[in-house]
């Protein structure tokens, strides 16, 4: 029997240990009020935060502008990659819709529009984010944009991310945003229903809310809050290859009953791509005939998407 197990281990190691090893480079599980660490690993390691960045973006927006304030995006929103709400430059949007878009749909264009409106530029808004992070005690965090799209020099730690989320949870508007399972976006030309990317909201009753993130370089990231026996716990993890599997394993320190793989798969939101962003270079004009051929060719292919 022992010999058979050894043979299986060398031939199919993942078959024996699948779902039993935490793949995240860094994680932490803490009790919110005391910040007592329940479980963790490498939680002071600086890593790229992906769209968990939008926690700070949204909190700062809530603290700075009125939810009914009108925001008019500039031309850059049209060039930002998904996830996005496909905002139209020059059109009017309410701040609360953009906040919902940033937290529920993880919309990069919504995060950018908020940043540009509040800071005058995304760079100046990032400075405001860093100042606010320092006020919270998140001293190993540095933001360079509002969306979390990968850029060198933008980082946080699981400890800092949990700390930022702790402060955000004390804001009633923020707390309401992260508990939403769906966000209905209505403008003058379209009505869209966005489903929250946080799968725990749909299959795990103790879940309060949270924020997911993904880029190819950052891998999967997450921060979220959970209730147990009248207390709130915060889980954050960075650089994971198996977000939901890792989260379930870590939450096993608190709960006996946790969502199954099947339940988590069924709770999946329609995915949208999120990748590193570089401004597009100016391209030569293409004739209408060539544009039509390209359009026909693209329509025959199924788009590749990834979660955020």
Residues 178-206 pLDDT 10s: 999 999 998 767 789 999 999 999 999 99
pLDDT at 307: 42
pLDDT higher than threshold 50 for residue 93: yes
pLDDT at 234 over 70: yes
**pLDDT over threshold 50, residue 295:** no
- Other beta carbons within 10 angstroms of residue 286's beta carbon come to 11
Spatial separation of the C-alpha atoms in residues 202 and 182, rounded to whole Å: 11
Q: What's the average model confidence in pLDDT over 264-277?
A: 66
Q: Which of 45-54, 85-94, 270-279 has the lowest mean pLDDT?
A: 270-279
Tell me the pLDDT band of 274, cut-offs 50, 70 and 90: very low
pLDDT in tens, 114-128: 999 999 999 999 999
pLDDT at 2 over 60: no
Q: Is the peptide bond before 281 cis (omega within 30 degrees of 0)?
A: no
Percent of the chain at pLDDT above 70? 81
Residue 278 has what pLDDT? 53
Angle at 231 between CA 226 and CA 237, to 5 degrees: 35
Contact criterion met (CB below 8 Å) for 249 and 243: no
Per-residue pLDDT at 220: 98
User: Taking 70 as the threshold, does the pLDDT of residue 287 lie above it?
Assistant: no
Residue 113: pLDDT over 80:
yes
Distance between CA atoms of residues 126 and 131, nearest Å: 9
Does the pTM of the predicted model rise above 0.85? no
Mean pLDDT of the chain: 86
For 156, which DSSP code? B
- Work out the pLDDT band at 269, boundaries 50, 70, 90: confident
For residue 306, give the 3-state DSSP assignment: coil
Is residue 6 scored above 50 in pLDDT? no
> 3-class SS at 278?
coil
Q: What are phi and psi of 26, to 5 degrees?
A: -145, 140
- pLDDT at residue 130 is higher than 60: yes
């Amino acid at each position: 029997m022992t010999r058979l197990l050894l043979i299986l281990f060398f031939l199919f190691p993942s078959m024996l240990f699948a779902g039993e090893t935490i793949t995240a480079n860094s994680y932490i599980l803490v009790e919110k009020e005391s910040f007592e660490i329940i479980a963790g690993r490498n939680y002071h390691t600086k890593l790229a935060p992906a769209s968990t960045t939008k926690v700070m973006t949204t909190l700062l927006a809530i603290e700075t502008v009125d939810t009914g304030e009108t925001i008019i995006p500039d031309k850059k929103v049209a060039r930002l990659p998904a996830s996005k709400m496909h905002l139209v430059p020059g059109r009017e949007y309410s701040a609360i819709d953009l906040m919902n878009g940033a937290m529920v749909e993880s919309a990069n264009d919504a995060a950018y529009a908020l940043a540009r409106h509040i800071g005058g530029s995304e760079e100046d808004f990032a400075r405001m984010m860093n100042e606010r992070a320092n006020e919270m005690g998140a001293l190993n965090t540095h933001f360079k944009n509002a969306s979390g799209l990968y850029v060198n020099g933008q980082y946080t730690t699981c400890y800092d991310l949990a700390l930022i989320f702790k402060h955000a949870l004390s804001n009633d508007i923020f707390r309401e945003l992260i508990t939403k399972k769906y966000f209905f976006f209505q403008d003058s030309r379209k009505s869209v229903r966005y489903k929250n990317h946080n799968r725990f909201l749909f299959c795990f009753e103790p879940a309060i809310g949270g924020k997911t993130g993904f880029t190819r370089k950052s891998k999967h990231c997450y921060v979220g809050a959970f209730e147990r026996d009248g207390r709130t716990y915060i889980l954050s993890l960075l650089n994971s290859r198996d977000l939901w599997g890792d989260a379930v394993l870590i939450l096993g320190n608190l709960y006996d009953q946790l969502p199954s793989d099947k339940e988590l798969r069924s709770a999946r939101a329609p995915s949208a791509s999120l990748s590193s962003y570089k401004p597009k270079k100016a391209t030569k004009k293409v004739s209408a005939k060539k544009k039509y051929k390209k359009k026909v060719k693209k329509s025959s292919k199924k788009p590749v998407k990834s979660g955020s």
